[in-house]
Amino acid sequence: MVNARAGPIVQERTKPPRDRSGIETSAPPGLQGPRILDAMDGFWLAVVWTLLPTVVVSALFFWILRSVLHADRNERRAYARIEAKERAKRGLPAVPATSGPDDAPPAALAGR
């Protein structure tokens, strides 16, 4: 078809169709719908990459702190065993077990 004034009609190139949200659609014109899943894939990937360093550093901190506390507990147990053996060698009475630093021996409370 020829336009008398402008010459042949040339179909303009158009950008890929977009839906109302501005997301490009690649479906045929009759089957166009939002391509939300494609956009959400990028969103969730960004969420994962954003949270990954925090999760890794937190896990590493937890593991290091746990290791330090376990080592301290094991060292205290070993020291208590060694001290008990040494006291037994010298004929001294065993040290009474206390549940915390605020516990006072009963003899100290008797004078109050």
Whether residue 45 lies inside any domain: the answer is: no
Domain that holds residue 75: 55-90
Asked whether the beta carbons of 24 and 17 are under 8 A apart, the reply is yes
Whether residue 2 lies inside any domain: the answer is: no
How many domains does the chain divide into? Answer: 1
Percent of the chain with pLDDT over 90: 38
Report the distance separating Cα 37 and Cα 27, nearest Å: 14
Average pLDDT estimate for 42-48: 86
The residues facing 24 across adjacent strands are 18
SS3 state at 23: coil
Q: What is the pLDDT of residues 1-31, one digit of tens each?
A: 555 565 556 555 555 555 566 665 565 555 5
